[in-house]
């Protein structure tokens, strides 16, 4: 597989579509709440189905190629102008797209992006003996502790099985390694300098994978960027604090839609 498949609704056609990008391990289901809410409100929406690890290594290992693949998916769905919402690695893709395609990207909403700290702590200590495998209760506990602040188990058994099955594939592990390498190489500050489109950063206060503090320091240099820190949330506020995330998202995309293209 070299690019994304998608689920989309075209909406009323008068506003840019809100495009939700899947994350490194998780598919488009992380966006269930805002996707359904905005679709019901008449917005055009699109979400990619595959986790980035499930893509071809050449695509997964390039921020630029991931962005190109996302826009190609929008083209295939008949979507023009977009507001890109992305979490984790996808956040860098959103920032990069805003800089490269200001004529099309009307706004970006970023959560939990890497690039300013050490490699994200994914909560999995795989070793060559295979003593920790991406299946079973131990895997689930480690993943939940890495991703969420609350002890509530936010992923269903089916979703955990989907992630674990994917990570058992050697190709997915190679794609993950390529993706992490891409985040190390990516120059965040020069990319932010190129962003002229409206931008909003919605970050979990207790994000252990990609801590918020370093981003707060950098984003202080960009007063036009909107920043919201979600209390009692970890790496995936669109799941852990779904209603609050969508409540912050909706007025921002409404303003983006009112800005002349």
List of domains in the chain:
6-120+170-258 (3.40.50.1820)
Q: Which are the contacts of 153, defined by CB distance < 8 A and separation ≥ 6?
A: 140, 144
The pLDDT score that the predictor gives to residue 120 is 61
Query: Residue 156 — pLDDT band, cuts 50, 70, 90?
Result: confident
Q: What is the pTM of this model?
A: 0.89
Nearest to 159 by CA among 179, 189, 139, 187: 139
The pLDDT score that the predictor gives to residue 139 is 60
- pLDDT average, residue stretch 49-78: 94
Question: How far apart are alpha carbons 220 and 171 in whole angstroms?
Answer: 39
Q: Which is more confident, 253 or 120?
A: 253
Question: How far apart are alpha carbons 243 and 213 in whole angstroms?
Answer: 24
Mean pLDDT of all residues in the chain? 87
Does 39 score more than 70 pLDDT? yes
């Amino acid at each position: 597989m070299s690019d994304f498949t998608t689920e989309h609704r075209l909406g009323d056609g008068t506003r840019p579509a809100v495009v939700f990008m899947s994350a490194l391990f998780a598919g488009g289901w992380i966006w269930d709440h805002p996707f359904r809410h905005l679709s019901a409100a008449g917005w055009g929406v699109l979400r990619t189905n595959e986790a980035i690890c499930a893509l071809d290594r050449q695509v997964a290992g390039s921020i630029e190629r991931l962005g190109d693949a996302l826009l190609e998916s929008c083209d295939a769905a008949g979507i023009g102008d977009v507001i890109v919402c992305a979490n984790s690695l996808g956040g860098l893709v959103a920032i990069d797209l805003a800089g490269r395609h200001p004529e099309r990207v009307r706004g970006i909403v970023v959560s939990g992006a890497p690039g300013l700290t050490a490699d994200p702590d994914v909560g999995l200590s795989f070793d060559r003996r295979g003593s920790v495998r991406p299946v079973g209760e131990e895997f689930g506990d480690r993943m939940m502790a890495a991703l969420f602040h609350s002890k509530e188990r936010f992923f269903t058994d089916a979703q955990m099985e989907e992630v674990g099955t994917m990570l058992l594939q050697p190709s997915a592990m190679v794609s993950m390694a390529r993706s992490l390498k891409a985040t190390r190489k990516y120059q965040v500050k020069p990319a932010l300098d190129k962003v002229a489109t409206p931008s909003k950063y919605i970050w979990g206060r207790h994000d252990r994978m990609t801590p918020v503090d370093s981003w707060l320091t950098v984003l202080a240099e960009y007063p036009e960027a909107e920043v919201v820190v979600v209390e009692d949330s970890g790496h995936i506020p669109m799941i852990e604090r779904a209603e609050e995330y969508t409540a912050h998202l909706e007025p921002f995309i409404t303003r983006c839609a009112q800005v002349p293209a």
